[in-house]
Chains A and B, each alone.
Chain A
Amino acid sequence: MGKVIVVTSGKGGVGKTTSSAALGAALAQNGDKVVVVDFDVGLRNLDLVMGAERRVVYDLVNVIQGEAKLTQALIRDKRLESLYLLPASQTRDKDNLTAEGVEKVIGALKTHFDWVICDSPAGIERGATLAMRHADVAIVVTNPEVSSVRDSDRIIGLLDSKTLKAENGERIEKHLLLTRYDPARAERGDMLKVDDVLEILSIPLLGIIPESMDVLRASNIGSPVTLADERSAPALAYFDAVRRLRGENLPVTIPGEKRGFFGKIFGRKAA
């Protein structure tokens, strides 16, 4: 059985889709079978970020409504043969996502893939709650600024109450992925400090992704940043995040700071 991961945030524009694609590609580079599912019905973007927009025939809503088979809707990545995409519908409404339909699709994907990554839409409505519903692990994507942090906090509350795991009395594994971290702005004190974000959200830190033009460049050429330029700073940060996701105990480095100093502070995990 594969692991189901939801990439969520509450707030829009923090990097959910970018992170879903980058983590998916990084996981698949070891040969693991990975599918990234776009739950943002009506505002799909994952196909663009993964460079598959010209190859979409069927989508998640078609599968849920029985108009297409799952195998017909899955798109295999051209660069990594173990990476797949299940696109969202652009023309349909979010209401076409039914709880039973999503359960069936996720159940089927879990038997075929090692990792099922659900790219959640922004907000706390139907699309977002259905994306998190069947997750084993949640990656909460947060920018180091107050509104994003508060929205993430709200989402963590929902993860602890609205997911299947929570309803069964289990605890869903939650990780914080701090994105768009800008060392220069952090230096000036324009951004929340990593410590402050961790203190407020109190979930373990999966990684810190630096703000970088490489991310935008990768999106524009339709490639996950972990495939576009494997040596770029954000790609390296995503690779480290994936190693931690696999259970490795790797100290987190804050971009722009020396590792030695940092290991001391962040060797510990947040409560």
Chain B
Amino acid sequence: MTAVLTQPRPIRLKGRSYLALTLTPELPFEDWLVRLDDLASRSAGFFLRRPVVLDVEGLEIDRTQLRDLVGKLGARNVRIMGIEGARPSLLGADLPPAMSGGKATGDIEEPAAAPVREAPAAESVAAQPTAPPPAKAAPASLVITQPVRSGQSFFAEGDVTIIGSVASGAEVIAGGSIHIYGTLRGRAMAGTLGNGAARIFCRKLEAELVAIDGFYRTAEDLEPGLRGKPAQFWLEGETFAAGSLG
């Protein structure tokens, strides 16, 4: 028992974003399921093992209907990993968790009629909108020119720069580094997409929590000498390092 309690290494918490297929069911569900079956019959296993999110935004349904729909989808091998746009009262412990903050990407091509086995003619290959391997674009960064208020949350896959302060109860999450030209009173989580080289910089440190690549420090664990001063945080291997700036 004591061995468990004295475990010195904290649990690593990381944020990560994934691509999921989003289904937007329409009422009445029976008709919609028929159309879904039709789609599935054209391509067996289209949904098999794919992460699927159910978007129920704007649907006037109750929990029984939702549970019933999730069950029926399950029977069709469509496994729902999360539900988007649902009122909190709609979701229970027996339903997939709520998802939010999703970003649209290109539409996923509906499978065409049964795939043809023989090699298609060159022309038809050109006509097919085959997705080229995505060029490694620089992740989007974000510049915020206003104070980040309590209760607000910002995320960018790249760096986040804030010209202003981050209030107590506010959070900034970045795949890259975080630069705060003001006081950091809330939370800053950098390198959340697995970037251990990310850093956090702030002009005045009053943070509630700082984290890089899942390693975190709460206000209590921060070096008291840095409080109220310009500071930066980085990772040295798996150790969290903090230092003054300038």
Q: Which of A136-170 contact B (CB under 8 A)?
A: 146, 150-151, 153-154, 156-158, 160
CA distance A146 to B183 in the complex (A): 16
Q: Are A200 and B165 in contact (CB under 8 A)?
A: yes
- Contacts A199-B183, A200-B185 known; A157 to B152 CB distance under 8 Å? yes
CA distance A8 to B185 in the complex (A): 23
Q: Are A160 and B165 in contact (CB under 8 A)?
A: no
- Contacts A200-B167, A202-B165 known; A153 to B183 CB distance under 8 Å? no
Q: Are B151 and A157 in contact (CB under 8 A)?
A: yes
Q: Are A157 and B183 in contact (CB under 8 A)?
A: no
Determine the main DSSP class of B at the interface with A.
Answer: loop
Give A129 Cβ to nearest chain B Cβ, in Å. Answer: 13
Q: How many residues of A contact B (CB 8 A)?
A: 12
Out of A146, A154, A158, A202, name the residue touching B147 (CB < 8 Å).
A202
- Contacts A199-B183, A200-B185 known; A157 to B165 CB distance under 8 Å? no
Q: Are B149 and A154 in contact (CB under 8 A)?
A: yes
Q: Which of B136-185 contact A (CB under 8 A)?
A: 146-147, 149-152, 164-165, 167-170, 183, 185
- Contacts A199-B183, A200-B185 known; A154 to B164 CB distance under 8 Å? no
Out of B152, B164, B165, B169, name the residue touching A150 (CB < 8 Å).
B169
CA distance A200 to B164 in the complex (A): 10
CA distance A211 to B126 in the complex (A): 77
Q: Which of B45-88 contact A (CB under 8 A)?
A: none
11 contacts between A and B (CB under 8 A): A150-B167, A151-B150, A153-B149, A153-B169, A153-B170, A154-B151, A158-B151, A199-B183, A200-B185, A202-B147, A202-B164
The interface of chain B, by Cβ under 8 A from chain A, is 146-147, 149-152, 164-165, 167-170, 183, 185
The interface of chain A, by Cβ under 8 A from chain B, is 146, 150-151, 153-154, 156-158, 160, 199-200, 202
If A151-B150, A153-B168 are given as contacts, then 17 extra A-B residue pairs at C-beta distance below 8 Å, sorted by A number, are A150-B150, A150-B167, A153-B150, A153-B167, A154-B149, A154-B151, A154-B169, A157-B149, A157-B151, A157-B152, A160-B146, A160-B149, A199-B183, A200-B168, A202-B147, A202-B164, A202-B165
